[in-house]
Chains A and B, each alone.
Chain A
Amino acid sequence: MQKFAPSILVLALSAALAGCQDKGPQKDKVNIDKNPYPSTYKAMPSSATLITNATVLTGTGERLDNADVYIVDGKISQIGVDLNVQADTTVDAQGKWVTPGIIDVHSHLGAYPSPAVESHQDGNEMVSPNTAQVWVEHSVWPQDPGFNRAREGGITTLQILPGSANLFGGRSVTLKNVPAHTMQGMKFPDAPYGLKMACGENPKRVYGGKGVAPYTRMGNMAGYRQAWIEATEYKRAWERYEQEYAAGMNPDAPKRDIRLDTLRGVLDGEILIHNHCYKAEEMAMMIDLGKEFNYHSGTFHHGIEAYKVADLLAENGNCAALWPDWWGFKMEAYDMVQENVAIVDAVKNSCAVVHSDSDTTIQRLNQEAGKVMYTANQKGFNLKEQDAIKWITYNAAKSLGVADKTGSLEQGKQADVVIWDKNPFSVYAKAEHVYIDGAKVYDRKDEKYQAVSDFMLGQR
């Protein structure tokens, strides 16, 4: 008996080895479903809408005065002066301003919702420095009242990110800011996923404090590099499997690992990096890290010191998503300058973005951009409204990989549009109408278009 057993094992092993080379009938191919929680988003009902006589900021750097915007079938159909078109609904926007829907590339709505009670702390999987396996969409509570408040401030698209406790925090999700009772109902169709990474103080504080790596900034870098080496091997193993299978062989699929699936998605160029990273020297190293492992280092979020490396960011095609004035809450946020966004923006081929990271300022991203514009102009910059709007529309869409779909008022693009009662860079400005895919989703003067979350229903 005892002799018999090993020989069976040997036989089995040799059969398995031969199986890799087997030209015989192939096993079913193992395919990884890259979209297992697909969007079920459907645009709300809309009709052909003509907005007339507005000051229009297109998001592409243009300003048109007394212009009309014509929306048909959820898309921007025409923009121009005195359009001669048929519309079901005409909105007189004399004296008002029209912009693309505002996009926030950095939000935790739904994952850190209101009320901010202990049961709702769903944004940071703080158990390991690499949690690339978690997807923040699985934390999103669509009833967060913050989504409605953000919509009232003109937010039509937003990226929900996991927190910054980990070197790899997990996947982000981009949402259309429509009321829905499932996450899938908000999910932006065909938007790429993002991967949240974090530099600096947060990961080393969270894990160093527990006596595990990373304890230092050099530990942070070692952690990223180790993970990308693993991901590179994983990608290679799957590619070999694909190649052998395509060649008619009968290989065994590599063992599936959802953490490495996400990292591989980055190496394949399908998932975009969104990197919480404050300091100049760290951004410079994260750019090199991307080059070392052959992926693009994506968007730097918070980037308090982006102004110190503005040239480098533009040269490498990195977006920098920044606050106008937050500072001082930790050492890496000490060197803030109020003109950070403007300095980054001033370089050719730059991609400056104003973000919120806040359930409060997301409601006034227009004013956050306005602060930068005015402060910078007082220091010798010459920024205009048509420039500043890009920081919260087109450039933000570019950062999220959806600039072909939204982020500007151009023919054929999704009609995500805001009508403001005045210059949106005034402290007194308010969004009057908000449209997503041509459908009115908010009207300041009509309760019918003012959504209330389940949580708030019957509370007042």
Chain B
Amino acid sequence: MTKFKLSMITGALLASSAAFAQVTAITGATVHTATEQGTLNNATVLIEDGKIKAINPENVTANETIRANGLVLTPGFIGSMNQLGLVEVGAVANSRDASDEKAGLDFDPSYAFNARSSLIPYARKGGITQNVATPLNYDGAYQGLAFTANLSGEFDSVTDKHTAFVIYLGAKSKGSRALSFQQFVEKLEGQKAKLAKKDDKKDADKPSGEERVLTQLLNGEMPVVIGASRAADITQIIKLKSDFGLDVIISGAADAVLLADELAKAEIPVIVSAVANLPSDFDAMHATLENAGKLEKAGVKVLLTIAGDSSHNLYQLRFDAGIAVSNGMSYDSAIKAVTSNVADAFAIDGGKIAVGQPADLVLWSADPFELSTTVEKMWINGEEVTTESRHDKLRERYTTDSELPRAYTK
């Protein structure tokens, strides 16, 4: 009898959530929209069917109401330029899938994405709800394709397999960067010529993976992320954009401040680390903590990323945004640099609190950039997710008294 009752209840619950769209209302929040709406005080956000249904509606009818009482609501932060889901332990070769020496220009690492990586719940501790992961090839210019995944940990969390093409055209420890650049230009020219011919005869051969990527780039259908830091290289990249009509994003960009106005005019977003302020090589002689703010003030769209082990340390993105603010970036721009600017540059959904956007939201105890602030609640596609990770299990095991060996504390 008891068993029967329980299963009846479960059935009823399932039925109700299937039959009626669940509406969640977050009320009384300080909302950083990361849009032109800026910051809304004492605002209400309605979530339905995984999307943001309304902001400050006249009437609130909700199955669940979360009273924020002035807590801060932001879009989920978006990571980029890391190998989240492509690496578990850096030094463990068979847990790494971000590169392959046989990979071509069209290398698609999304096939290897591991939604159950322990890095994903850990990154959620930093309010990260979405990520643009990239291949990482230390040996050559061509990296391959970046893909987008949400941080739900679900197996279907890759949302876009071809988010960008990634190429590195900066300093090389062997050979000349000139050759990398020259060969890329030649590939683009070759494909451009081929496309011009193909317009004449429709029965062309099926294009290769490489040709498909180049075509998407030439048609502006997919951005190309170019890794480069030296100002001289950036001038070449600005020209490359205008010559081929590419949708260019520059990553690294240590010396981009020297060309801030030109980058703004060319509408080239830059992905920078807020903490990179050392001349790591002769390409980065102008790296300073003020660069993110200076670029923003010049009108450049700035995206922030993590320096160093950007996969394991992704949760720190919010602190880097705080460091950018303390060195001259405006607060609103820093919010955008980890949300809407990332979404816009990569042409993906999310990163904004706006009607129709996916309900990737984070409710913070206070200023999300501050060290003392915590994630109170977060949602990915309207589903509440936890920030608990195996790190918490380890802490609990070793801070819980027990007469038995620790291994029995689970």
User: B-contacting residues of A (Cβ < 8 Å)?
Assistant: 114-118, 145-146, 149, 201, 205, 307-308, 310, 325-331, 334-339, 343, 358-360, 363-364, 367, 370-371, 374, 378-379, 425-430, 455-456, 459-460
Contact = CB atoms under 8 A, between A and B. Distances in A.
Interface stretch (B46-54, B135-143, B195-203, B392-400): B392-400
A356 B54 CA distance: 45
B282 interface: yes
A115 B279 contact: yes
Contacts of B90: 328-330
B6 interface: no
Contact of A330 (B91, B322, B392): B91
B325 interface: yes
Contacts of B369: 427
A350 to B, nearest CB: 14
Contacts of A339: 395, 399
Given A149-B277, A326-B313, A337-B391, A374 B322 contact: no
B371 A328 contact: no
B363 to A, nearest CB: 15
Contacts of A371: 319, 371
B372 A145 contact: no
A146 B284 CA distance: 14
Interface stretch (B15-23, B304-312, B346-354): B304-312
A343 B91 CA distance: 27
B286 to A, nearest CB: 6
B323 interface: yes
Interface string B250-268: 0000000000000000000
Given A115-B279, A359-B278, A378-B374, A430 B326 contact: yes
Interface in B364-410: 369-372, 374, 391-392, 394-395, 398-399, 406
A102 B286 CA distance: 26
A142 B308 CA distance: 24
B395 A455 contact: no
B284 to A, nearest CB: 8
Contact of A367 (B319, B325, B391): B319
Nearest to A380: B399
A455 B279 CA distance: 10
Interface string B336-351: 0000000000000000
Contacts of A379: 395, 399
Nearest to B311: A328
B395 A114 contact: no
B371 A459 contact: no
Contact of B279 (A145, A310, A374, A426): A145
Query: A-side binding surface: helix, strand, loop or mixed?
Result: loop
B89 interface: yes
Contacts of B392: 337
A338 B277 CA distance: 26
Interface centre among B118, B276, B285, B316 (most CB of A within 10 A): B285
B280 interface: yes
B151 interface: no
B89 A330 contact: yes
Contacts of A331: 89, 91-92
B275 A360 contact: yes
Contacts of A459: 279, 285
B119 interface: yes
Interface string B276-316: 11111110111000000000000000000001110111011
A146 B370 contact: no
A427 B319 contact: yes
Contacts of A336: 391
A337 B394 contact: yes
B395 A374 contact: no
Most buried by A among B315, B322, B371: B371
A328 B275 contact: no
A144 to B, nearest CB: 9
B92 A330 contact: yes
Nearest to A309: B398
B326 A428 contact: yes
A283 to B, nearest CB: 14
A149 B399 CA distance: 37
A113 to B, nearest CB: 9
B312 A360 contact: no
Given A367-B319, A426-B370, A360 B394 contact: no
B88 interface: yes
A310 to B, nearest CB: 8
B407 to A, nearest CB: 11
Contact of B278 (A117, A146, A307): A146
Given A325-B313, A374-B374, A428-B325, 10 more contacts: A115-B282, A117-B282, A307-B398, A329-B309, A358-B308, A364-B323, A371-B371, A374-B372, A379-B399, A427-B322
Contacts of B119: 328
Contacts of A359: 278
Contacts of B307: 360
A428 B322 contact: yes
29 contacts: A115-B280, A116-B280, A118-B173, A145-B279, A146-B278, A201-B91, A205-B91, A307-B394, A325-B315, A326-B312, A327-B312, A328-B88, A328-B90, A329-B309, A330-B91, A337-B394, A337-B395, A338-B395, A358-B308, A359-B278, A370-B371, A374-B372, A425-B372, A427-B371, A428-B322, A428-B370, A430-B326, A455-B279, A456-B279
